Amino acid sequence: MAKNETKKLEYFTDWKYAPAPEATDHINLKKQYDLFINGKFVKPNSGKHFDTINPATEQHISRIAEANEKDVDSAVKAARGAYDKTWKKMPAKERAKYIYRIARLIQERARELAVIETLDGGKSIRESRDIDVPLAANHFFYYAGWADKLEYAFPNRNPAPLGVAGQVIPWNFPLLMAAWKIAPALATGNTVVLKPAETTSLTALKLAEIIQESGLPDGVVNIITGHGPVGAAMVQHKDINKVAFTGSTTVGKWIQKAVAGTDKKLTLELGGKAANIIFEDAPINQAVEGIINGIFFNQGHVCCAGSRLFVQESVAEEVIRKLKDRLETLIVGDPLDKNTDIGAINSKMQLNKINEYLKIGVDDGAEIYQSSCTLPDKGFFVRPTLFLNTSQSHRISQEEIFGPVLAVQTFRTVEEVIEKANNIPYGLSAGVWTDKGSRIFNMTSKLRAGVVWANTYNKFDPTSPFGGYKESGFGREGGLHGLLPYLKF
C-alpha cells in the first residue's frame, strides 16, 4: 500500500494535452463593417470606424462603424416605417416563418459564428460552440412558436405590439443576448433597433447578414454600433416605445432616469452577486464542480455568476481543499483551443478592473489562492482566483467583479446563510446544494433572487424566464414571461 503523508494530488503530468486549435480558415469577415439600417449596410454619418481586437492576442480583427445621433434617428425611422408599413400588418404565422428561418440560418452557420464569437470576445470555443450559439438558435425557434399563439398565451386580453424596441446588449454573450432581445420582440410584432457592445459587435453584424439572407422585410431589425453615447441617444429617442437593456447597474439606473416621465416601457437586466450555498449533506464532489462552473463559466463574465460561496462549516475544509485541486485542472489559455476551459478577459479595461479587485481583496485582508497555471504572454488573462476567509463587509463580497474570482465564506445555520445571502443590493440568482428536498423548497422561497438553481448552476433554456430582484433589474426574458415586456393589452 502506497501511503503519501502530504495527501497532495499532483496534476502536472508528462501526459500534456497537445494544442487542438479550432480552424479559422472557414470564417468570412469583412475588413470593415458599416451600420445595418433598413435592410442595408450603410456608412455611418460620423465617417468614423474603430478597431475591434482579439482579446486573447491583442491583434486587430476588423473595423466597426461609430454611429452618431443622426444614424440613431435614421435607424429608428426605418424601424418605425417597417412597423407601420409591413410588420404590424403581417399575419402572425408569417412573422413566425421569418423568425424560424433566422433560427435555421444560425444553426447552418453555427461553426462560423462560434469561431467569431471566440475571436472577438475571448470566450473559449467550447462554450461558444456548445452553449452560446445553440442557445441563440433555440431562442429564435422557441419564440417563432409563440408568434401566432399570443391570444392563447394571454386569453381575452387582446395582446398588441408596442411599436419600436430599442435594445442595448452587453459584451459577455454578444450573439446570445442579441437573440434574447430580438426573438421575443419580433414574435410579438415589434420592430427593433439593437446596439451591441463596442468590444463585441461582430456576431451581431453577422446576425445582420443572416437577417438579410432570411428575407426579413427591410427595417424590421436594425443594428447600429458604437460606444456609450449611441445607446444613450437611442434610449432618449422620442419615437422609441420600449427600452430593453442588459448591462451594468450604473448604466441601468441612468436609463431608468432617462425614460422617467415618458411612456416608454422598460426592462433592465443588470448586475448580480449570486450566493452559491453548500450544505453539509450536499453531494460534495458534484457541488464543487457546480461551484467551479458557477464562477468560472465565461471567465466569470456572467451577471448570474455564483461569485459568493457560502459553505457550511462542517464541510468547509473538504470543499476548499477540493476547490483548490479543481482549480489546478482548469486549462487557461488560447480560447480557440478546444481544450481551453477559461479564455481571455474581454477587454483591457475589464482586466484592469479585475486586477484592481484582486488588490482590494488582499488589502482588505482576505486570503488569496490562485491556480498555478502559466498565462499566455500576450492578451488579457487572469488566473482563476479564490478568496478565502472573506467577510460579508469585504468589498470583494459586496461588489460585482465580473471576473473569475470567488469569495468564500462559511456559515453555521440555515437562518444565518439566508440572511447573508440576501444581504446584498443585488438579487439575480442563487444556488443551493443539498441532498434534502425540503431544504431546497425552504431556501428557494426565502432567497430573494430571480433564479434559484438547486444542485446545478448556470442552466439556461429559452422556455425558462430569467431576470432579477432589487438592483439586478426588473422584467423577465425567456419563456412566456419574456413576451410580456413587448406587449400592451
Partner 1 sequence: MSYDFKHSPAIDQVGIEERVARFNTRSIKKGTKVQGLKLALNMIDLTTLEGKDTEGKVKQMCYKAIHPHIAMPDLPTTAAVCVYPTMVKTAKDALKGSQVKVASVSTAFPSGNSTMQIKLLDTKFALDNGANEIDMVISRGEFLKGNYNFVFDEIASIKDLCKKYEARLKVIFETGEISTLDNVRRASDIAIYAGADFIKTSTGKIGVAATMPVTLVMLDAIKDYYIKTGIMVGMKPAGGISTAKSALQYLVMLHETLGNAWLDNKWFRFGASSLANDLILQLEKEARGVYFSKDYISVD
Q: Which residues bind partner 1 (CB under 8 A)?
A: 1-7, 9-20, 126, 130, 281-287, 289-290, 318, 321-322, 329, 338-339, 435, 455-456
Q: What is the 3-state secondary structure (H, E, C) of 362-425?
A: HHCCCEEEECCCCCCCCCCCCCCEEEECCCCCCHHHHCCCCCCEEEEEEECCHHHHHHHHHCCC
Backbone angles phi, psi at 463, to 5 degrees: -80, -10
Q: How far is the CB of 455 from partner 1 (least distance, A)?
A: 5
Between residues 10 and 363, which has the closer beta carbon with respect to partner 1?
10
Residues with Cβ within 8 Å of residue 464, at least 6 apart in sequence: 478, 479
Candidates 22, 66, 303, 471; catalytic one: 303
Cβ–Cβ < 8 Å for 305, 349: no
CA gap 334, 22 in Å, rounded = 10
CA gap 460, 473 in Å, rounded = 18
Q: How far is the CB of 57 from partner 1 (least distance, A)?
A: 20
Active site residue 269: yes
Strand-pair category, 40-42 with 242-246: unpaired
Backbone angles phi, psi at 165, to 5 degrees: -105, 130
Q: How far is the CB of 318 from partner 1 (least distance, A)?
A: 7
Q: Is the dihedral of CA 352, 469, 467, 260 positive or negative?
A: negative
Between residues 125 and 205, which has the closer beta carbon with respect to partner 1?
125
Cβ–Cβ < 8 Å for 270, 303: yes
CA gap 72, 75 in Å, rounded = 5
Q: How far is the CB of 219 from partner 1 (least distance, A)?
A: 41
Between residues 112 and 280, which has the closer beta carbon with respect to partner 1?
280
Q: How far is the CB of 458 from partner 1 (least distance, A)?
A: 11
Between residues 86 and 339, which has the closer beta carbon with respect to partner 1?
339
Between residues 108 and 130, which has the closer beta carbon with respect to partner 1?
130
Between residues 126 and 181, which has the closer beta carbon with respect to partner 1?
126
Q: How far is the CB of 5 from partner 1 (least distance, A)?
A: 5
Q: Which residues of 207-245 are buried (b: 16+ CB within 10 A; e: fewer)?
A: bbbbbeebebbbbbbbbbbbeeebbbbbbbbeebbbbbb
Residue 139: count other Cβ atoms within 10 Å of its Cβ: 30
Question: What is the CA angle 80-86-91, rounded to 5?
Answer: 130
Active site residue 213: no
Candidates 66, 117, 269, 400; catalytic one: 269
Between residues 5 and 363, which has the closer beta carbon with respect to partner 1?
5
Q: How far is the CB of 439 from partner 1 (least distance, A)?
A: 13
Residue whose C-alpha cell is 444556488: 431
Between residues 138 and 188, which has the closer beta carbon with respect to partner 1?
138
Q: How far is the CB of 341 from partner 1 (least distance, A)?
A: 9
Residue 18, classed as helix, strand or coil, is coil
CA gap 375, 55 in Å, rounded = 13
| Closest to 52 measured CA to CA, from 347, 430, 379, 479 | 347
The catalytic site residues sit at: 269, 303
